[in-house]
Amino acid sequence: MKAALLAVGMAAAGNASAQSLPVPDLASIPATPTGDAIRRGHALITDTHAQLPDHVGNDLNCSSCHLNGGTVAYAAPYVGVTGLFPEYRSRSAKVISLQQRINACFQRSLNGTPLPWDSNEMNAMLAYMSWLSAGVPVGQPVAGRGFEPVDTSLEPDPVRGQAIYADQCASCHGAHGEGATTADGGYLYPPVWGERSFNLGAGMARHYTAAAFIRRNMPLGKGGTLSAQEAVDVAFYVTQQPRPDFPARIHDWPAGGRPKDAR
């Protein structure tokens, strides 16, 4: 249950008109100034906590949710995302830019502070996402965009969820959701609750959103082995554990349509 960023955590689109999910080889990044920015963007996304300590307030990376640098289907891939923004977001009831969406992740999933829009770091992240999106027609989603939804009529059982967490998740994420660190202090597996995890304003703090990610991607390397009900149960258990607040969440969904699992 490698939870967090949610970050560009978009609702899954129907696949009837979706494009394939082409993932270019990192070795094909050109040896140019633009290529340098693309490589820098990849580093920022896969090592966000260490690379941007002034903007990340927990121990997560963008790739904690956008798996493998945003290249995995139904793990909020970045492939094709640059051709979909500006986009209307019901959470803010506004049409927002991709920069605004990235910064929402910094504030919510990373429990941190936004990047300046004209910063080298923001432009590097945009360069990487644009490189991933090359060849995807503008305005067309890719197959596997966002997360594959689960049935929101499924009622969670936190007791079952706790048992599933202990059996399937604790070996990586810790008995108390604290994550697992490497010898140099970096995170091998991210914390999924507590002060070093995503805050209450993150998409992953919603249990049906978390369940969609878990159902398809977790346990790592064994995605799809949990049933939808099991994913909902364990997601509810995890999301209800203590984590940082995000006071501005009271202003979310100003035009209505607030999801029933919104925190």
Q: Report the pLDDT value the prediction gives residue 21, as an integer from 0 to 100.
A: 87
* DSSP conformational letter for 184: T
CATH of the structural domain 158-251, one choice from 1.20.140.10, 1.10.760.10, 3.40.50.620, 3.30.1330.10? 1.10.760.10
Whether a cis peptide bond, with omega within 30° of 0, leads into 77 is no
N-to-C CA span, the chain: 19
The answer to whether the 26-133 and 158-251 domains have the same CATH topology is: yes
Q: What is the pLDDT of residue 17?
A: 62
pLDDT per residue as tens, the chain (263 positions): 433 433 333 333 344 466 778 899 999 999 999 999 999 999 999 999 999 999 999 999 999 999 999 999 999 999 999 999 999 999 999 999 999 999 999 999 999 999 999 999 999 999 999 999 998 999 988 999 999 999 999 999 999 999 999 999 999 999 999 998 776 766 789 999 999 999 999 999 999 999 999 999 999 999 999 999 999 999 999 999 999 999 999 999 999 999 999 99
Mind listing the pLDDT tens digit for each residue in 92-139?
999 999 999 999 999 999 999 999 999 999 999 999 999 999 989 999
Each domain of the chain, given as residue ranges in start order, spans 26-133, 158-251
Instruction: Report helix, strand or coil for 71.
Output: coil
> CA–CA separation, 40 vs 69, rounded Å?
12
Alpha-carbon distances of 63 from 32, 41, 75, 180, 188, rounded to whole Å: 25, 12, 9, 16, 12
CATH number, domain 26-133, options 1.10.3210.10, 3.40.50.10470, 1.10.760.10, 3.40.50.300: 1.10.760.10
pTM for this model (two decimals): 0.90
Please write the tens of the pLDDT for every residue from 220-244: 999 999 999 999 999 999 999 999 9
